[in-house]
Structures are given as C-alpha cells and as structure tokens.
Amino acid sequence: MTSGGDAAGMNPAIKAAVDHARQLGMNPYVVYDGLEGLIDGKIKEATRELTNDMIYRGGTLLRSSRSKRFFDYEFRRQAYEHLKERNIDKLIIMGGDGSFRALNDFFNDFEVPFAGIPATIDNDIAGTDYCLGVDTAQNVILDCIDSVRDTARSHHRAFVIETMGRDCGYLAMTTALCSAADICIVPEIPYDLESIYKRLQPVINEEGSCIIAVVAEGTRVAQYLTRWLTERAGMDTRLTVLGHVQRGGSPTARDRLMGTRFATRAVEALNNGDINQIMVYHDGQYGYASLDSVAGQQYSVTQDIITFAGSWAASRLSGSGTRFFPPMPPRSRGMGGFVLKKNAAAV
C-alpha cells in the first residue's frame, strides 16, 4: 500500500514487490487508498494485468490518503478483520515516518509484521540518504528553472522559485546547484540580504542578465524575497511557486531502479523474518533500519552536500553562482523599504 504524499517511483516499487512476492510463492494483494482503504477493505488480489503498465506511471495508481481514523483502535481492528478474511499476514507500506509509526501501532495490536519503503520528495526521512520520488522531483524542478530562465533573460527580470521540502532544504539546495541559481535560501544555512545585494550587483547591472533565486518552502520567505529584490535590487521580480507539479511526472530511471531495489528487499526481509524494518540506502549501500532509528528522528542534509554547496558558492563571488545564506527573519516595516529586525541573528 501507499500512504501519505505520493511520489514518483511508487508504481515501479508496487510492481516489483508484487512480482517478487509471487516468485517467492506468496499470494500478493494491493490496498487502495492507503490506511483509509485498509479500514474500508479496499483490498484486491494483485493480478499481472493490474501491474503490467505501472512502471512508467507517476504518482501511485493505488492512490493514497492520510487517515485520522487509524488512530482509533476500533478502526484498526476493522482493518485487521479485512486482512484476516483474506489470510494476509504481512504488509509493505510506502510513505514517511508517520505511515511507519501507524503500522507499528498496528503490529503492537494485532502482530501483523510490516516492511517500510521511504517515499517522499522532501528526502527528509532519517536513516536513509534517498527516498523514492526525489530524483524525479529534482528533474521536474530543473526543467521549470531552465524554462523560467529563458523568459527571465528576455526581460532582464529576477525570478524567485519556491520548491517543496517542508523544513528540509535538500530539493532547493541540490536544484540550485544544478541550475547555477544566483540565490538559494534554505532552512539549514545562514544568509544576509546585504551580502546578497553586493554580490549580485554585477548581475543587476549587466544587460541581458537575470537573477534566479531558489527558496525552500520551509523558510517562508519567498514573497518577502520577491518584494526585496524588486525594491533593493530594482529589478522586475516575479514569484513562481512550483507546488504539486514537483510530485508529478513519469519516474526517472533512478526512481524506477530505487523503487525496484527497495521493494524486492522489503519482500525478502519479510520472507526471512526480518520484520518491522525500514528499507534504507546509506553511503551507497542498501540495508534495513529499525523504526526507532527512523521515525521521529531529525533528518539533516548530509554535510558533504552543504560543504560542497558552500565551497562552490564561495568560488563564484561575481556573476552567476549560488550563494547560500540562512533563514530570513520576519518582515519588519521601515521608512519606505524592508529592514532586518534589530534582534535578528543575521550573519
């Protein structure tokens, strides 16, 4: 089943799990609409016809949901009865740590073991370097930035591009690097507006140039930065919020491969008795992680990405280059402009 936000790579993982389970002599089923579907008994036998055309499809053909009802024991019991009727004794769930915790509660109630596959474009699950959907989302963002740059150069404009990621700046940081953006603001790294302005002056004064700023949604400063660039830099500035387009699209080769590898290992883990494990990819190796080491833990972007991004930016002090600075303080009204609050910890 798939739970929480959809992510490219879920469908290839579903197909791989079904195929591998069948190879091992199991009788695979699929659950539609996530935990809500589990409660309502939306469970079907996974036929070959059902999974044949899945691998190239984006999102999740099993659909997804977030379920408040699953917190209620009686609804969990209802879900268990649906599984018992079909002799289903193992579950694989794709989603985030909330989904994993939900099935852990389910195991504590009814001893139905599970395996978890990390799937979120935010790439913010602790214990794994990669979650399904990230590569596809990165490529969607890059395509959008490249397209926006064409119109930005045509009109000597600045564009602020807001990416998803909640409180994690991974998507914004990696796509800013890969697109040679001029500004990147993420929750993890400090910034200073006046330093940005000074470094951007050659770009501002150059004919036919443009400014591309990539901002993580968790900073909540996209609109502020748009106004600041208009007023301080004197450039016509537009805001583009990419939103849920980042979740769509046919999965890339990497997400298809990662989905396949995660899913086959999840089936093998359950078949070998390694229950309630989360599939992870760390330092180039696939493995398992306990729920305690994943759910509820704080995810941090790996230091090598931050270090690489920072050193790359430092070597590009003029012209186009990515500059990383920290979360922007709240807007404060000043005389005819935008000012930093006096108590803000700007570097």
pLDDT in tens, 310-327: 543 443 333 444 444 444
pLDDT in tens, 36-55: 999 999 999 999 999 999 99
pLDDT in tens, 63-82: 999 999 999 999 999 999 99
Of 214, 222, 232, which Cα lies nearest the Cα of 323? Answer: 214
Contacts of 152 (CB under 8 A, 6+ apart): 158, 159, 210, 211, 212
Rg of the chain (C-alpha set): 23
Residue recorded with tokens 């993580």 = 216
Dump the DSSP string for 194-225: HHHHHHHHHHHTSTT--EEEEEEGGG--HHHH
Give the predicted TM-score (pTM) of the model: 0.88
User: What is the reported pLDDT for 315?
Assistant: 36
User: What is the reported pLDDT for 50?
Assistant: 93
Element (H, E) at 137: helix 134-155
167 catalytic, yes or no?
no
**Number of CB atoms found within 10 A of residue 56's CB:** 10
* Residue 164's pLDDT band (cuts 50, 70, 90): very high
**Number of CB atoms found within 10 A of residue 333's CB:** 8
Dist CA 144 CA 125 (whole Å): 25
Strand, coil or helix: what is 154?
helix
Catalytic residue among 33, 122, 135, 255: 122
